[in-house]
Amino acid sequence: MSDNITPASPLPPAGWYPDPQNASTQRYWDGARWTEQVNAGSGHPASTAPHGSAHPSTLASAAVLPTGAVAVAPKTGLRALRWWQWALIALGALLLIAAIGGAIGGAKSTDDLADADAPVAAVSTPTAEPVEEEPDTTVAVPDVGGGTIGEARTLVEAAGFTLTTDAGAGDDWIITSQSPTGGLKAEPGTAVSVTAEAPKPVYSLEQQNALEEAQSYLDYSGFSRQGLIDQLSSEYGGGYPVDVATWAVDTVGADWNAEAVESAQDYLDYSSISRQGLYDQLTSAYGGQFTPDEANHALAAVGY
């Protein structure tokens, strides 16, 4: 029994044939396969295939080889591209994309510039009415601390204020505090209240000594005003001039009613004496020299 084998189609002989991948060039067929040899010119005639043989460019897609296997012929159409060709294609695509993006960006920038150049409608803002401020009519208060009341009155009234002081304060009294404080501003006509104290007296040496001696006599015994003047001015006493002795007695600040009571009690402690006798002793020019009112005050105080 014979095998049913279909004879294989004969292959064309070796030679130059049109390139199945590029018809403008010729590629060498070695009788079994296409080689890498390519001829771009048309000066080499292609070898003629034997009669009845298929041209390499029109070979069937498959042929049966003598062994009975099926040989697949190269496919016709576009040839496979090399790596550098693919790189050129990719570069061109990137350039095309960049050009398109630049065109879009340029158009957007143009639109933005157009929008920026377009006039903006002015927004009307209501204008606030100006508020008239009240004029400042206040005046700075003079600083009068440390001065006399007389000096302060002149400064305060010249600035348009009034001055108020403690009752009994003299113009020579020294100001220790004030309200409002100096430098603050106040409406004209405001009362500036001050606190003051009497100035410290300045005594001569003789006045100081006479005053100290007058106080020593009063600490020792009860004296009337006239009796103390006589004691200070007597040649057997202080020996001061009458005017200095008088000044010292009036300055020492004695309570003459209290001195009369003390003198009356001294008389009673020394000896027994009638009311009239005690009155005469207190008012006598050679005795206490108290006034009648001072003597009567003393008699009442001791029980007469």
For 304, residues 6+ apart whose C-beta sits below 8 A from its C-beta are 275, 278
Three-state secondary-structure class, residue 288: coil
Is the confidence at residue 166, as pLDDT, over 50? Answer: yes
* Domain boundaries of the chain, sorted by first residue: 15-72, 139-197, 205-302
Q: What is the pLDDT of residue 96?
A: 83
CA dist 166 and 173 (Å) reads: 10
The CATH class given to the 139-197 domain equals alpha beta
The pTM is what? 0.42
Q: What is the overall mean pLDDT for the chain?
A: 81
CA dist 27 and 94 (Å) reads: 34
Percent of the chain with pLDDT over 90: 51
Per-residue pLDDT tens digits for 172-192? 999 999 999 999 999 999 999
Reported as half-sphere exposure (CB side, CA atoms, 13 A), residue 139 has a value of: 17
CA dist 80 and 89 (Å) reads: 14
Per-residue pLDDT tens digits for 84-140? 777 788 888 888 887 787 777 665 655 555 555 555 555 667 677 777 788 899 999
Per-residue pLDDT tens digits for 189-239? 999 999 999 988 889 999 999 999 999 999 999 999 999 999 999 999 899
205: buried, middle or exposed (CB in 10 Å: 19+, 13-18, 0-12)? exposed
8-state DSSP, 146? T
84: buried, middle or exposed (CB in 10 Å: 19+, 13-18, 0-12)? exposed
Per-residue pLDDT tens digits for 18-46? 888 887 888 888 988 889 888 875 544 44
Who has greater pLDDT, 104 or 253? 253
Q: What is the pLDDT of residue 59?
A: 42
Q: Are 290 and 258 in contact (CB under 8 A)?
A: no
Q: What is the pLDDT of residue 38?
A: 86
Other CB atoms within a 10 A radius of the CB of residue 271 amount to 7
Structure tokens at 138: 């206040």
